[in-house]
Amino acid sequence: MSVRAGERALGKAVSRRGERTLGVLSAIALLGAMVMALFVTPPDAEQGQVFRLIYVHVPSAWLAYLSFAVVLVASIAYLRTTKTRWDRLAAASAEIGVVFTILTLVLGSIWAKPVWGTWWTWDPRLTTTAVLLLIYLGYLAVRRMTDDPRRRGTWSAVVGIVGFVDVPIVHLSVVWWRSLHQAPVVAKVAPRMAPVMAWTLVLSVVAFTLLYAYLMVLRLRVGRLEEKAVAEALSPRIGAAAAKAAVGG
Amino acid sequence: MGYLIAGYVITAGVLGGYLLSLRMRARRALARAGAVAARRDARISEPGGEANGADG
């Protein structure tokens, strides 16, 4: 997809109607996934009930990866075009990615306690995920270092591109190093799962991805409104232009 | 079972909390932009205001 086509698709996705549709769809999908996860799937033969955490832990981790992949693509697009909407997209995705990375770490810790006997261990997967969180917290901190939009966009785009290096390291850490953490789920575990468990996992991933899309649309609107408020305060003429841009996406 | 409940409650709390915070941020930004615009319009329309070229 070209940069221009991506911008057009982004503009359409940000419409209020699209926002409402996404909200309803993600709520229905999440409800269905949670019913399947808690009431339909059987408990695991070895881990029992706590295994059901897989239906929220794995989608959270997937969304952390997806969010930071979007940051990478939007950062490259921003450096190529210097258009604000790409910087806004990267910032929104980074913030949501941080939320899902925190959720992944917390859920992993809750799962680790009954299975590994500890809340936390300096295992390669856990450690690289904690580093990932620090990188993107750093990304958000860099965005607060300057008020100059061009400088902010450039600095954070560089961090967003370089920071993504940790994502494949997190994913492959369980292959490269000896780890308590199980192998990558989709490749190794899902084919051995009962079909109802595998399909519930797929549904959970789809539901969380829809939620990500909804949160992105909402977060992008917040970004536009905050920029409009600042522009209104700075100058009536800039404020009017920003208001026009906000309506047009 | 307690770990499972804790995991799902925390998931709902974190995602629901983030969603609410986004809605509140949107409402605050909208209100702030509206307040600034209203103050500006009042300044322009008052006698001797910006529209009359008093302070450019």
Q: What confidence tens digit (pLDDT) does each residue in A185-236 have?
A: 566 666 677 889 999 999 999 999 999 999 999 999 888 888 877 777 776 5
Among candidates A106, A226, A239 on the partner chain, residue whose Cβ is nearest the Cβ of B37: A239
Nearest-by-Cβ selection for A221 from B1, B26, B32: B26
At residue B47, the pLDDT reads 67
Distance from C-alpha of A167 to C-alpha of A174, rounded to nearest angstrom: 13
The fraction of chain A above a pLDDT of 90, given in percent, is: 57
Instruction: Inform me whether the C-beta atom of residue B33 falls under 8 Å from chain A C-beta atoms.
Output: yes
Calculate Rg over the CA atoms of chain B: 23
C-alpha distances in angstroms, A159 versus A69, A78, A86, A111, A143? 13, 13, 14, 31, 10
Whole-angstrom distance between the N-terminal and C-terminal Cα of chain A?
Answer: 19
CB-based contact A213:A203 (threshold 8 Å): no
Residue A32 tokens, joined:
């269905």
pTM of the model: 0.83
Nearest neighbour of B33 by CB, restricted to A49, A53, A225: A225
Dump pLDDT digits (tens) for A11-44.
Answer: 555 567 778 888 999 999 999 999 999 999 988 8
DSSP secondary structure code for residue A45 in this structure: T
> Could you tell me which residue, A183 or A30, shows the higher pLDDT?
A30
Query: What pairs with residue A48 in β-bridges?
Result: A44
Chain centroid to CA B11: 25
Range A137-153 average pLDDT? 92
For chain A, which residues lie within 8 Å of any Cβ of chain B, measuring from their own Cβ? 34, 38, 49-50, 52-53, 56-57, 60, 96, 99, 102-103, 106-107, 110-111, 113-114, 211, 215, 218-219, 221-222, 225-226, 228-229, 232-233, 236, 239, 243
Instruction: Report the pLDDT value the prediction gives residue A224, as an integer from 0 to 100.
Output: 86
How many beta-carbon pairs below 8 A join chains A and B?
76
Q: How far apart are the first and last CA of chain B?
A: 69
Alpha helices in A14-143 (DSSP H): 16-35, 54-81, 84-116, 124-143
B8, B25, B40 member nearest A236 (Cβ): B40
